[in-house]
Structure 1
């Protein structure tokens, strides 16, 4: 790998569109996100333990300009 590549499973970017209401996140915000996308419907997801989801999907990315993901996979980027 060559700079500026940072290895890991999290990434960050700018919110360019929102479908529906996402509390605490607005268009133009910088957010951190995970490439693991939980199903959102299983027992673990419904009880807030999405990291234990057995039906999660993982997407790969390389030079990906945009990503579409559920709000549970992202959070506001720390200052």
Structure 2
């Protein structure tokens, strides 16, 4: 499943690069970047918002949540930029 997500992200990035290049007369240079950030909320002593006994509190973390972002930009034109989050 994770490999499929990575492959689909790579295919999307490559298709966006080819789309940007197809619209330009001058084949320029591109900057490509990727980032990942931990977006996990509070870990301990949180209520379960009505899904359990009201006095029950969370005591730990099962798995962290992460957000990924990919950016493609033209070196010559700053307004030609695509971000995929």
TM-score range, shorter chain: under 0.3
Choose 1 or 2 for highest CA Rg: 2
Judging by fraction of residues, say which structure has more strand. Answer: 2
TM-score (norm 1): 0.26
TM-score (norm 2): 0.25
